[in-house]
Structure 1
Amino acid sequence: MAEPATETEETQEPAEIAALDPVTLPPAANDGSTRYGIEIGSVAKRDELRPLWREYLTKHAALVAGLQPRRVRAPDNRWRLIAGPFANAQDAEGACSLFKRAERPCAATVYAGDAL
């Protein structure tokens, strides 16, 4: 005769686990190892980066929770908003999938640049 299922087995439902867990993000490192980030915006002027980051903090706080902003000037002279760090490229790609579901731009990249 089969044993009855326990209450936890009966009530468990599949849960979607977010790829972005701010608690487990690695600390910033200066050891020369590659850190990964996500590019979440591009602007023409450097002084447009802070308002863009503030927009993320107010309208999309769950997406950027625990992330640190960086600024990078690209070869096309536009300023890129980079957020991170992530331990590996897979984690960065997972975070991008969340941004894309929220219809926000995102591309995995190297976590580099100056603090915003």
Structure 2
Amino acid sequence: IEAAVSCDHASALQPGQQMISHKPCVFPFTYGDVTYYSCISTRSDFDWCSLDKEFQGRWRYCTGLDSPQCVFPFIFRQKAVHNCTKEGYILNRSWCSLTENYDKDRKWKQCSPQK
């Protein structure tokens, strides 16, 4: 991220102070010509996310709570899936789609171990 990019932080900070925005990340978001479904480290040493669907210079660093969210129901093998599933995952772990149509988009994440 370029230094000129706004961080959506308060502008009246004293030297040495840093504020972190608490506004929610927007997923998915588009940065350049690419759509992202989770935090990215592009042009940064740390993961960040956009605060707008189309990146407009408003962003913040990610935290452990900013992981991508499952979308339910989602389409997998032309069927609606309403929960995390183990179907199709060779490691017998549950997963979910990050978009409404996994068959088309192929964006996914592993679900928590409890599911």
TM-score category of the 2 structures, normalised to the smaller one: under 0.3
TM-score relative to the length of structure 2: 0.25
Give the number of the structure with larger relative contact order, counting CA–CA contacts within 8 Å between residues 6 or more apart.
Answer: 1
Larger radius of gyration between Structure 1 and Structure 2? 1
TM-score relative to the length of structure 1: 0.25
